[in-house]
Amino acid sequence: MESTALDDARIGAAHRAALRSIGRVVEETAEPTPPGEALEGIAGMLEAGPALALTGAGVSTDSGIPDYRGPRGSLRNHRPMTYQEFRHDEAASHRYWARSFVGWRLMNRALPNRVHYALAELEQEGRLSGVVTQNVDGLHARAGSRRLVTLHGDLETIVCLHCGAVEDRTHLDLRLRELNPGYLESVELDPSQVNPDGDVELTEDRVERFRMAGCLACGSRLLKPDVVYFGEPVPPARKAAGSRMLADSASVLVAGSSLAVMSGLRIVLDALRQGKPVAVVNGGPGRADARVSYLWRTPVAPAFDALLDRLDL
């Protein structure tokens, strides 16, 4: 009984910490660099040696995937589920899967935009050592980025939390369709309401109608996208891969991220401790803005168009 109480206390504390991270408000702390100066400075960084690109949701908004904290970010209308809710509340995980079953197909149809392609081109030309992304949409890989660390995982892979078995999301979707005939056709979906984690709002009656599939190996319904939820640590192997990529880089270029969560901010702090310059290209404020060499406050896509032109690429 005492052990259970301690476990519950730990779960509750981790959940509350995750809620604080979700609710973090990022405000302006620095004066942006004049656009022309920012362009020249970032181009100079890339010419001096390959940079590590650290990307967030802002690089995927032009693909129709909303960000969390931008002016139209999903946090204004939707709170992501914490790992503790998903893992320890059966009703919560069922609700997630009902909503994700509907929303995932829109995420799956999303295509890379010109920022993803620009980053792939910069890597191909030797201007980037690689990309560490906080996004789970798979668009960097589709655009051709080769040296890529998906810090928070990828929605394309499903893992069983009971036995560890792995399944492709497309295969799971086929099984869910068989279990839920006519379900998708009964939902009128507004594409603008899909959240960055791939789910959508559904009424309670639709959630109750949904039937969840079990693990192919052990039958457990405790299946989870292989992504890092709020309140869940980044796997050590991914942290180590990001650190190795940083070691191979002369600088860091942050694109489309407020760095509101520590997993991304830590990379910037490590770069600064190593004396490497850092630049930020983002449409809104970020946690590292006051520490970086160049702060280009701009929509991400036109900035990368200008950067490629400046580098004659």
Structure-token pair, residue 221: 């319904």
Identify the CA nearest to 263 among candidates 239, 280, 283: 239
Instruction: Output the CA torsion sign for 193, 195, 200, 201.
Output: negative
Catalytic sites, residue numbers: 152
Q: Do the Cβ atoms of 159 and 223 come closer than 8 Å?
A: yes
Confirm if 103 and 195 have CB atoms less than 8 A apart: yes
How confident is the prediction along the chain (313 residues), in pLDDT tens digits per residue? 344 766 777 867 777 776 677 677 788 999 999 999 999 999 999 999 999 999 999 999 999 887 654 554 444 455 688 899 999 999 999 999 999 998 888 778 889 999 999 999 999 999 999 999 999 999 999 999 999 999 999 999 999 999 999 999 999 999 999 999 999 988 876 655 666 666 677 889 999 999 999 999 999 999 999 999 988 999 999 999 999 999 999 999 999 999 999 999 999 999 999 999 999 999 999 999 999 999 999 999 999 999 999 999 9
Closest CA to 168 of 125, 229, 104: 104
